[in-house]
Amino acid sequence: MAVDIRVENWSQLQEELFRGAWNPEIQRFRSPFVFRGLSDMDYRLETSLMRLGGSYRHLERHLLRNFRKYSQPVSSRFPSFWHLLSIAQHHGLPTRLLDWTYSPYIALHFATANHEKFDRDGVIWVVHFEEAHRMLPAELKNCLEEEGAQAFTVELLSSVRPLDTACRTAVEASFHDVIRPLEWFDAFGNGGDFLMFFEPPSMDDRIVNQFALFSVMPNPSVAVDQWLARHENLYRRVILPRTLKWEIRDKLDQCNITERVLFPGLDGLGSWLRRHYTPRS
């Protein structure tokens, strides 16, 4: 059963973030969890598409179609719909994807990067993605098992095809079309919603340094926290008291978990310096 664990100090925080990471089968620390840090514990796990508001579900296909159209010739170099969707999310287009990381420290960074939220308790969502993947539809789950993988890549997702011959032909005939692959993926949800995680292509240092992956669901109207509420054994929340945020932030900076590393370039450098020299008062 999911619980909220309110940590009181840095040492307890370390215990909670790495709890369950030991894998007895291989005698190594290999965590089956992914993490998402939020500066306010009351924030929902809503996608940027949801936050767009209005009839966002019906706008999704128009957003993706126009992103592909106006991003030419860049988008033409990506061989599948999942590449395109990852690029769109990476560059700020509202999508049904939600950002996660394999690194608890990077999640801590995003929970403490905004000093204007230091008067609010933060939170780290910890989700057992391996258990979540055991609830995938058979075609998707079998694909992972055959590959011996724990999470999808865009190449692996692009290799999955519907079992129905007519549907498979339609998808393959329009492999570069935006709409049909999206509708094909949504059809997997006819048997019930599921939560799937996949790793984006290593398109730049930002993706690599953030140890990033995305979650996606076949129904863009269902928030991830809604789905998790029905599967409480899959997650926990680590609550970061506002009184602990300054210590966490300073120790992360000493560990070099900063905007300068996670957002390589002058924008990241500027953000890091602005925050680094903001007085506590």
C-alpha span between 18 and 30 (Å, rounded) = 10
For the segment 113-170, what is each residue's pLDDT rounded down to a tens digit?
999 999 999 999 999 999 999 999 999 999 999 999 899 999 898 887 654 433 444 4
Domain residue limits, the chain: 4-276
For residue 226, is pLDDT > 60?
yes
Q: What average pLDDT does the segment 12-18 reach?
A: 97
Contact 118, 242 (CB under 8 A): yes
Q: What average pLDDT does the segment 8-15 reach?
A: 98
C-alpha span between 47 and 152 (Å, rounded) = 20
Q: Which residue has the tokens 């990852």?
A: 86
pLDDT at position 49, please?
Answer: 96
Report the amino acid identity of residue 159. Answer: S
Q: What average pLDDT does the segment 256-262 reach?
A: 96
Q: What average pLDDT does the segment 59-88 reach?
A: 84
pLDDT at position 177, please?
Answer: 57
CA 255 vs. chain centroid, Å, equals: 23
**Strand, helix or coil for residue 122:** strand
Q: Work out the pLDDT band at 176, boundaries 50, 70, 90.
A: very low
For the segment 89-103, what is each residue's pLDDT rounded down to a tens digit?
999 999 999 999 999
For the record, the structure tokens of 31 come out as: 């965590």
pTM: 0.91
Q: How many CB atoms lie within 10 A of CB 67?
A: 19
pLDDT at position 182, please?
Answer: 82
CA-based max dimension of the chain: 65
pLDDT at position 79, please?
Answer: 74
Q: What average pLDDT does the segment 267-274 reach?
A: 95
pLDDT, averaged across the chain: 90
C-alpha span between 261 and 268 (Å, rounded) = 7
Q: Which residue has the tokens 């009184």?
A: 243
pLDDT at position 171, please?
Answer: 41
The set of residues, in sequence order, having a beta carbon less than 8 Å from that of 184 and lying 6+ positions away, is: 162, 167, 171
The set of residues, in sequence order, having a beta carbon less than 8 Å from that of 266 and lying 6+ positions away, is: none
